[in-house]
Amino acid sequence: MDLKVLGKSDVKVTPISFGAWAIGGWMWGGADEKEAIKAVQKAFDLGITSIDTAPVYGYGKSEKLVADAMKDIPRDKYQILTKYGLNWESEDGHFRFMSEDDQGNPVPIYAWASKERVKKECEDSLRRLNTDYIDLYQIHWPDPSTPIDETMEAISELLEEGKIRAAGVCNYSTDQVEEALKTVPLVSNQVPYSMINRKNEESVIPQAVEKGMSILPYSPLQRGLLTGKITPGYEFSGYDTRKTDKYFKDENIRRVQQLLDVIRPIAEEHNATLAQVVINWTVHQPGMGTVLVGARNEKQVSDNAGSLDFSLSDEELSEITKASDAFSLVD
């Protein structure tokens, strides 16, 4: 795959990245470690050399699995995008939400990005990932308990030390981005984006385009909903937050199916799956850097990689966007 420059940095990434949220098992009902390692390796073999992970995905598990998968690959042949700022180890920071461990025990998650904490988290991630540097280091969620300039001062020092190559943010508002830019150059903002969740087109994406930053869209398939494989009444297993996600209400699933009915003939024309067309459409939206697409096994990785094996015409892209414009959710 042709590499794309991330923002105004010298970091180059593939048009789609391996999203390593699901392999950590966190919020996805568990994951098989052997299958996860094979999935990461398959992605690399198919040219997807960029991997997006985070410490909180499985409480360190995802980063360790990435390291295991890539241990025999020269470090300059792949790009690691990881994060900081979510704390499950203590009650320090700003409480964000309740999670669960593998045994179903409650685990409170706090947003915490003090300067000292950021430095510690970086060292922890470097150790788990078995690497000397991180290509893109991103704050996972805003931390109301810490001034943004304090957080970004730590990031500036990590850049100077060569422990990270570029700085990004996740889930930042336009005001938060402006504040962070006063201290450190940002190259990206990672935000949720899909053809049924386009609210960030209002201000976040235009700001990124104006500032020369890249958007890293996550959940482009809306956590599997846009694959067409989830139907009304679908039962999720284990600790899976999709059970209570409004997108997965039966009525919304039915509405998504109606949207996908419009896309289906286009997919058939290209001998592609619905998911491949959705990913392809996302890649071509304004401001997109690398589209984060998760996978738990080799088959899913192969399907994701196939999303760039065909070209959608301007007319097809327009038809899909029109169908997306007409979509609405019920609460």
Distance of CA 230 to the CA centre of its chain: 21
Phi-psi domain of 26 (left: phi exceeds 0; alpha: psi -120 through 50; beta: other): beta
Helix (H, G, I), strand (E, B), or coil: what is residue 188? strand
Cβ neighbours, 10 Å, residue 29 = 15
Partnered with residue 86 across adjacent β-strands are: 111
- Token pair 């040219």 in the structure block, residue: 47
Count H helices and E strands in the chain, helices first: 10, 13
Known catalytic residues are 57
- H or E stretch at 124: helix 115-129
Cβ neighbours, 10 Å, residue 223 = 23
Taking alpha carbons only, the member of 57, 191, 86 closest to residue 145 is 86
Q: Give the phi and the psi of residue 89 in degrees, each rounded to 5.
A: -90, -20
Q: 241 exposed, middle or buried (CB, 10 Å; 0-12, 13-18, 19+)? A: middle
Cβ neighbours, 10 Å, residue 234 = 14
> Is-contact 1 14, C-beta < 8 A?
yes
> Is-contact 131 164, C-beta < 8 A?
no
